[in-house]
Each structure stands twice: as structure tokens, then as C-alpha cells.
Structure 1
Amino acid sequence: MALKIKLLLIGFVLLQTQTCKKEDFAAVPTCLLEKIKKLKSENIANPPASVWQYEYNGQVVYYIPAKCCDIPSLLYDSNCNLICSPDGGFTGKGDGKCKDFFDKRTKEKLIWKDDRE
């Protein structure tokens, strides 16, 4: 009997997790889905490519971390307008247009991470 309850509980948790992911992904702006599609078509990065959602300066923003070395990260608004590059680049400090991003960002949410190996 206890095994059946455990299996039901595990099934319920898995169902809830999958449902949340689908709902969260459905709320992502179409222009960001296009950026994710482009990232999926590129070579596998190390660390893996990812897209994060935050609140910053009163708006929902999307952060794409730098892939490597001297490449800057990208921070977009919900219409996919580039706000700034918070880090990365030759200095590692981005373009200097949003120096407070890492201090002021809130409500972190992973939108997508490349799971290819």
C-alpha cells in the first residue's frame, strides 16, 4: 500500500512540474522564442546556452548569459529590444549601460537551458 502511495505522489509531482514548465514557456514573448530557436540551431556552448527571466527597473527582462570569453551577455525587454550587456566582453563588465543589473534584478526564473550533450 505504501508503495502505491509513493508512486502516486511521484506521478503527481512529475505532472505538476511538466505543467508548470509548459505554462511558463507559453508566456514567453514570441520574439524570445525565436532567439531560443536560433540558440538551438547553433553549436553546443560550454557552459550550455540559457535564457533567464527577471524583473529589473520595474519591467520583465530576459537575460542571455555570455557563451564564452570576450562575448558579451544580452539583456532584452519583453519586446526583444536590447537594453544592455550586463557582463562579458573584453573587460568582463559588459557595456556599462546597466551596471546595477546584478544587484537590482529580482524574481529569477529559468526560461530555457540547452540540454544537448
Structure 2
Amino acid sequence: MKNKFIQTAIICVVLFLSNCRSSDIEMDLPYCIKTKIVSILANEVNNLATQIWKWKVDDKTYYYITSNCCDQYNYLYNSNCEIVCAPDGGISGNGDGNCPSFTTEIQKTLVWEDPRD
């Protein structure tokens, strides 16, 4: 119970501070994506800096999060942080094959990158 309280307190403090610096975490990100950023920052630095990209396609917004190393899926999430698919990554590099067929061009914007070395 004590660990859960401490973890929640850390998340609240980081989210509060991150809202003060819009360059660190974009202000209009869904709460669940901000929580994923806090979780990434609470862990050790990955081999490859984690990136979060906003994808706008077919009048929907998705969030693409890179994995921490090679041969792992890079997941695409909806605005509720539900996994939609893995567009790429994995052993083949071609993802999980479960992504929807998008009908318009994907507009990709980098919204966050782990600043740690």
C-alpha cells in the first residue's frame, strides 16, 4: 500500500511539473499518454531514446511509441491508450500485421522524446 502511495505521489508531482514546461510534455496529450511518459522516466534509460509520435489519419488521432530496443514491436495506441496494432518492429520488422488500412496520408508529429542520455 505504501509503495502504491509513493508511486502515485511521484506520478502527480511529475505530471504537475511537466505541465509547467510544455517543451517536455505537450500540453494537449491525453492523460494516459502523459502517464506513459512518467512511467518511461521512472525506469532506466533505454538503449534507444523512447519517442512518442502523434499520428493524425482518417480523422483520428493515434500515438506511436517506440520500443526500448531492437526486435520489439513499436505500438500504436488510440487516445484511450488502447493498443491498436504494432505498425513495425518485431523480428521481421514488419509489425504484427493488425493495423487498419488507412485511407489518407498519415501526418506524423514528434511530441516527446526521452531527454536523458
- TM-score, normalised by the number of residues in structure 1: 0.71
Written as runs of structure 1 = structure 2, the 5 A alignment for 1:1-117 is 21=22, 25-98=26-99, 104-106=105-107, 108-117=108-117
Q: Deviation per CA, 1:57-108: give whole Å up to 9, x if none.
A: 320110002321121001011111110001111211110012767x9411x2
Counterpart residue identity of residue 62, structure 1: Y
Structure 2: gaps of 5 or more residues = 1-20
CA distance in 2: counterparts of 1:30 and 1:99, whole angstroms = 24
Counterpart residue identity of residue 115, structure 2: D
CA distance in 2: counterparts of 1:99 and 1:89, whole angstroms = 18
Shift of 1:110: 1.5
1:66 alignment partner, SS class: coil
Per mean C-alpha deviation after superposition, the further-off stretch among 92-101 and 39-48 is 92-101
CA distance in 2: counterparts of 1:100 and 1:69, whole angstroms = 25
Counterpart residue identity of residue 65, structure 2: I
Tell me which structure has the larger Cα radius of gyration: 1
Relative to its length, the structure with more helix (as a share) is 1
1:33 alignment partner, SS class: helix
Aligned pairs, how many? 96
* Percent identical: 34
CA distance in 1: counterparts of 2:43 and 2:101, whole angstroms = 30
4+ aligned runs moved over 6 Å, structure 1: none
- TM-score, normalised by the number of residues in structure 2: 0.71
Counterpart residue identity of residue 116, structure 1: R
CA distance in 2: counterparts of 1:21 and 1:37, whole angstroms = 14
